[in-house]
Amino acid sequence: MESIMTIEETGWIYILSYCGAIGLILIGTVAMVIYHHLIRIILGLILLEAGVNLFLITVGYRANAVAPILMGDQVPVAMVDPIPQALVLTAIVIGVGVQALALALVIKTYKAYGTLDTKELAEKIAQESGTHLIDGIPVSLPAPALVRQIAEEKTP
């Protein structure tokens, strides 16, 4: 250990790290909400997951600490909390798997409809299934109209 950080320096690490985590979470969530393009939504998801992972890592961070590995008889003065690191490792693996699955589904969806815009997709799917779209929300025929329709079909 050549240099030992002062309390102020450590404080800045925490502040920057937490701000980064919260910022990533916010950017990711906003991106998922405002964009209509599936790839961008998935990118927002990736940012969100990165933010959560950074948050977990920061929770386990200790000032002037080393990696939590026991080497022989040497017992280091301070070690970072190993549990969040194990959690983040698992979370990253799960995240990558889910993202790969998401992209596979994106490919399948694109092959079926030729678009990745969520609005166009909703329209095309609604056309396919025969429901109506009002302001982008699929709405089925109201019940009275349906009953009338069936009655009309019955009387030739």
Residues near other proteins (CB under 8 A): 25, 28-29, 32, 38, 41-42, 45, 48-49, 52, 55-56, 59, 83-84, 87, 90-91, 94, 97-98, 101-102, 105-106, 108-109, 111-113, 121, 125, 128-131, 139-143, 146, 149-150, 153-154
Whether residue 108 contacts residue 101, with contact meaning beta carbons closer than 8 Å, is answered with no
Give 139's strand partners.
Answer: 132
CB of 153 to other proteins, least distance (A): 8
By beta-carbon proximity to other proteins, the closer residue of 71 and 142 is: 142
CB of 3 to other proteins, least distance (A): 27
Q: Which amino acid is at 138?
A: P
Whether residue 62 contacts residue 76, with contact meaning beta carbons closer than 8 Å, is answered with no
CB of 64 to other proteins, least distance (A): 19
Ramachandran area for residue 153 (φ above 0: left; ψ -120 to 50: alpha; else beta): alpha
